[in-house]
Chains A and B, each alone.
Chain A
Amino acid sequence: MRVLVIEDEDNLREQVVARLREVGYAVDATGSGTEGKYLGTEFPVDVAVVDLGLPDLGGIQVIRGLREAGRRFPILILTARGRWQDKVEGLEAGADDYLVKPFHMEELLARLRALVRRAGGWSDSRLRCEPVVLDTGAQTLTVSDAPVELTAYEYKLLEYLMLHAGEVVSKAELTEHLYEEDMDRDSNVLEVLVGRLRRKLDPERVLNPIDTLRGRGYRFRLPRTG
């Protein structure tokens, strides 16, 4: 998942960015509203965290600008004031959820996960494509009720594919959303990763959960059941 963080307070931004990277997000971060709006418009962002009290371009204007540019990814606003007027203004401008400062980092992570999930059309934190069930809250995977261990990258890959279950996801899109700019974009890495994931999900080769469409990308083909 690719997160855009727009927060002008350096310490707080670094904390948030560090924690998001730790749990496997690709992160773009800035302290400027203008730059944030540019990043949000030009980059394949999955979810954004926007502080309302930005020094140059206010958070509300950033959100409005992004929505006017046709960007539909979910936005979480951070607000210091906690007044309903600010929250309502932010939500009306196009944000999807709010968090009042100060906040627990786990709370922020939970809200982001929920927003991403909802944007993919999932209403429950457990993504069910029976018999594959990915619990985005506990970050665990079960296949036919049996737990399966995944590495952080495998988890990120599967989460992205399942969030977009039924849709074709190109290799380029996957690398963009899963890796930051400076990461290795060698498509072999992705192929190896998908291969490993297939073996873990379907050791007997009966489910065949992930299609490979030549020249187009991958598709998680088990139908959504949750």
Chain B
Amino acid sequence: MLSLNARLLLAASVVLLGFFGLTGYALDRAFRDSALVAVRDRLQAQVYMLLGAADFTDSGRLVLPNGLPEARFSTPGSGLYAGVVDDAGDTVWRSLSMLGMDPVRLPVIAPPGQAVFSDLPGYEAGPLLLLNFTVLWERPGEQRRRYTFWVAEDRQVFSQQVDGFRRSLGGWLLAAALVLLTAQTLILRWSLRPLRRVAQQVREIESGARAGLDGPYPAELRPLTDNLNTLIHHSRGLLERYRNALGDLAHSLKTPLAVLQGAVDDCQDRSFRQLLDEQVGRMHQTVDYQLQRAAASGRTALTAPVPVAPVVDKVLNSLAKVYADKQLQQFAEVTPDLSARVDEGDLLEILGNLTDNACKWASSRVTVRASSLDGRLVLEVLDDGPGIPAARRRALMARGQRADSQMEGQGIGLAVVRELVEEIYQGSLQILDGPGARVRAELHA
């Protein structure tokens, strides 16, 4: 799809082109017409001059003096020619400038008193513009005789004039078009600047550098920016409300379960207690699993990148308290300034569960690594515990499996992590060989 800028520029250019084309054509026509009229007037004046200069010899022959006021008539090949033809079509006189040239054949002989202006493109010495004028000449004691005076000018003079005009007209029109297009471009840039600012601010919101759109916007854009702001707030608030609602649901489901569990522990009948214990455990796991799945938010367009190192630190600090007795050495190997476009809650969930498992099994040290690889976030949690036999790895990641049911814990940790990593972040979760257990998660974030 064409950008607004391109659309406006294209439309403006087409309109300008059309406008200047028409203008150019009209001006050209007008100039040509007036130039032709000027040539005709000039030729007419020459004809009158010749009429005035014409005289008769005693034998009754029409003659014109050699020294005509217009010098070009006397210069051979000057481009201005003249002649007189009698009623028989014989040339009575022709100007010196026609020396050595073929006689001009007049296309039309008009009735006396009328001037005929015509274009003679076919003349062998070059196209001519020609005006002829017929007069009836009456001399005392003689018959009336008809003479046709003609004056022709080389068409090149006219053509050069027209070409010169066209060149200068074209130059000016081009310059005007360029100026207008430049002005148009500048106006467009200026007018579209608020839109570019919206785009820039939306990018900043995406990258987390900005909370909402701000700054004065033109009235036409304000409905859009206001709605975008509302949408952003709404979607953030929605996630928060959704999670709170889930939290309330968890609380109101699990507290009664806790009461039930307490009652079960007090129960005297051993087989009954075992039955209830199992069922309460199952209900607990189901509630936990479904709620944690539902609470996973994943990545949205408005998720800001989360710095990874502080999250790793939070998890390690928290677990250092919980596993204080084990006096574990903790190592965080996080690429400096690493941040990822994940939900912080999701990242805490993944790292928390993996690191919790590692702390549970470690004998002295736990390492959390985080880096980025081809745009993916790579998390690795290692411990120096007994490790996980290959045969059990697949089973372990299935829903609700525990590596060791003697070990306390919810048993759904890895399953939740796998769901988060594989389904919400389209990544992969692997249990690798290591000195102890080594779990690697790759997320598209």
Contacts and interface: CB of A to CB of B under 8 A. Distances in A.
B429 to A, nearest CB: 16
Interface in A105-155: 105-107, 114, 118, 123-124
Given A85-B349, A87-B318, A118-B325, A53 B251 contact: yes
Interface stretch (A60-68, A95-103, A172-180): A95-103
A97 B323 CA distance: 9
A85 B266 CA distance: 32
Contact of B259 (A11, A53, A87): A11
B432 interface: no
Interface stretch (A39-47, A76-84, A185-193, A195-203): A76-84
B295 interface: yes
Contact of A91 (B256, B258, B322): B322
Contacts of B83: none
Nearest to A82: B288
A102 B410 contact: no
A1 interface: no
Given A82-B250, A123-B325, A101 B258 contact: yes
A19 B348 contact: no
Nearest to A52: B251
B262 A105 contact: yes
Given A11-B262, A100-B288, 12 more contacts: A9-B256, A15-B263, A15-B266, A81-B291, A83-B348, A87-B352, A88-B315, A91-B318, A92-B317, A100-B410, A102-B257, A105-B265
Contacts of A101: 254-255, 257-258
A98 B284 CA distance: 17
Interface in B55-99: none
Contact of B348 (A12, A16, A85): A85
User: Which bracket fits the contact residues of A?
Assistant: 35 or more
Given A87-B318, A106-B265, A12 B258 contact: yes
A9 B263 CA distance: 14
Most chain B CB inside 10 Å of its own CB: which residue of A19, A53, A107, A123? A53
Contacts of A104: 261, 265
Given A80-B251, A81-B247, A118-B325, A15 B262 contact: yes
Interface residues of B, number: 43
B321 interface: yes
A16 B262 CA distance: 8
Contacts of B23: none
Contacts of A107: 408
Contact of A103 (B258, B345, B348): B258
Interface of A: 9, 11-12, 15-16, 19, 53, 78, 80-88, 91-92, 95-98, 100-107, 114, 118, 123-124
B388 to A, nearest CB: 21
A84 B255 contact: no
B280 A102 contact: yes
A105 B351 CA distance: 28
A86 B292 CA distance: 12
Interface string B167-183: 00000000000000000
Contacts of B253: 80
A124 B408 CA distance: 18
Nearest to B248: A53
Most chain A CB inside 10 Å of its own CB: which residue of B288, B317, B344? B288
Nearest 7 Cβ contacts at the A-B interface: A84-B352, A15-B262, A102-B258, A80-B251, A102-B261, A91-B318, A102-B257
Contacts of A53: 247-248, 251, 255
B353 interface: yes
Contacts of B408: 107
Most chain B CB inside 10 Å of its own CB: which residue of A16, A80, A91? A80
B251 A12 contact: no
A7 to B, nearest CB: 8
B246 interface: yes
Contact of A102 (B284, B292, B321, B348): B284
Contacts of B258: 9, 12, 78, 101-103
A83 B255 contact: no
A104 B284 CA distance: 12
Given A81-B247, A102-B284, A88 B260 contact: no
